[in-house]
Amino acid sequence: MGDTSGTSIFSGFAIALHLGVFQNERTSFAMPHILSSFKTARLELRPPVPEDAPCIFDRYAQDPEVCRYMSWRPHTSIQDTHRFLEGCARERETGYTLSWAITLPGTPGPIGMITCRPERYKADIGYVLARAYWGNGYMSEAVHAVVDRTLADPNIFRVWAVCDVDNHGSARVLEKAGMTFEGTLHRWIMHPNVSPKPRDCHVYARVV
């Protein structure tokens, strides 16, 4: 399941405080609570660290089924995963992207990841979950919590996500997380593990 648009890495969220200046249409969050690690009923979400690479690679980044609806190819070596995590750290420093590793108490290392990308008055999310943990409601729980925290920022009025029209698992995640189906975006995103041509995607959102 997944894509940076649906279920599974991106998508995949220190963010600078909002300064009132938009760079390349990207901005950052006004409320520092969005920066921190936090817990849900069953999960712990925290910034990813380089030491997460083995778990991420072994659990899902190399899994073709998890990566099917992603915008990137499965990782072929742990070096791919290290480069991905280095990119997460750079994006976090710029304030353009905030990523959290999704962890399960009692289970070492991440079982997935979720990302939030602010853009002026709105933000989009992407996420990934290891296949061994599908079907337990973990991703809907994480999405719901990240959307709630993002919409608590006074500068953010809309949080949205897309999923491939054939990614029914991701659509269920977004619906269970309280997001509303808004329509279909045609030829919206490349999913190279499905087709060399742009794919249609469903769009879901929560607004305030």
Mean pLDDT over each residue of the chain, to the nearest integer: 85
Report the half-sphere exposure of 24 (CA within 13 A, side-chain side). 5
Higher per-residue pLDDT: 64 or 21: 64
Q: Is 32-159 a CATH 3.20.20.120 domain?
A: no
d(CA 153, CA 132): 33
Which is more confident, 79 or 9?
Answer: 79
Q: Which two tokens stand for residue 111?
A: 């079982």
Greater pLDDT, 6 or 141:
141
pLDDT at 91: 86
pLDDT at 200 over 80: yes
pLDDT digits 0-9 by tens, 135-156: 999 999 999 999 999 999 999 9
Nearest CA-CA partner of 22 in 120, 102, 93, 104: 120
Closest CA to 65 of 204, 175, 167: 167
pTM of this prediction?
0.84
Where residue 100 falls among pLDDT bands split at 50, 70, 90? very high
Q: Which residue has the higher pLDDT, 57 or 188?
A: 57
* pLDDT score recorded for residue 13: 28
The pLDDT of residue 69 is 86
Q: Domain map of the chain by residue range?
A: 32-159
Strand order in the sheet with 122-129: 38-39, 44-46, 98-103, 110-119, 122-129, 158-164, 198-207, 180-190
Res 84: pLDDT: 93
